[in-house]
Structure 1
């Protein structure tokens, strides 16, 4: 990043960090909630029922209005902060980046599952979604530990 840009953004560094954390919290909330909706959808809403239609609306709105924008904001702000902080070579940052890539892959998995429900072709059980609901928690633990402890 050019020095002039870094100097211009330096006074806003803490605000950028706060915005990054806010975006991450919104994204994580969605990553925790959407699989839980899938559990209830799979177990309590037969395809074509009124409850199925309600879950489809809830899942679509959560993904499109909250999760997608929050993920994009988390990524953009995170990359900006990494550039401003010069963290590209730090081991802890590589670990964090790998875990965030994992969250992004999980986000994509959730988006595909939402499409399955929307098309009435879900074949996964509530148990599958319960197990998958643990993935973002594990990745969050890795991310927070990497950022706070900076083990390497």
Structure 2
């Protein structure tokens, strides 16, 4: 199995990067949709329905598959011999940040479902602030992997 992973390494790494880009794009965009939904869409009516549809499709068609692909290809990279030195700090900071990113993803899904039920209680300002979470986590992940601190 490890021979196959070593041979597939460049392909798995490329697919991992593509998946991460797709996941991050959705994680950046969905909170922005929530800001506009909160401030202009309301919780009922045609504008609400359009925002709810856009949020649902972004979450289900792009964000969820991209997260699953990111995790799948990332774990394949982890199991590729010689790629991760678990005695270093960087794999642990990356792992913690990816888990936190997954938690943020889950929080967004819960917020999307609240919008669909017409029960959003979060302000546009709060969504704007939460939109910084994936940026901070992305910075930690990139520095962890590239600089390997």
TM bucket (normalised to shorter chain) is over 0.9
Structure 1 stretches of 4+ with a deviation exceeding 2 A read: 85-90
> What TM-score do the two structures reach when normalised by structure 2?
0.96
User: TM-score scaled to structure 1, two decimals?
Assistant: 0.94
- SS of the residue aligned with 1:90? coil
RMSD over aligned CA atoms reads: 0.9
Q: What residue number does 2:25 align with?
A: 29
CA offset at residue 88 of structure 1? 3.8
CA deviation after TM superposition for structure 1 residue 132, in Å: 0.2
> Gaps (5+ residues) in structure 2?
none
For residue 79 of structure 2, give the secondary structure of its aligned residue in structure 1: helix
Distance 1:71 1:78 in 2: 10
Paired with 2:85 and 2:13, the residues of 1 have a C-alpha distance of: 14
- Describe how 1:34-45 pairs up with structure 2 within 5 A: 34-45=30-41
Q: Are positions 1:71 and 2:85 aligned together?
A: no
Question: CA offsets per residue over residues 111-136 of structure 1, 9 Å max, x none?
Answer: 00000000000011100100000000
Quote how far apart the aligned CAs of 1:53 are. 0.1
List runs of 5+ in structure 1 lacking aligned partners. none
Between the aligned partners of 2:84 and 2:144, the Cα distance in structure 1 is 16
- Equivalenced residue count is 147
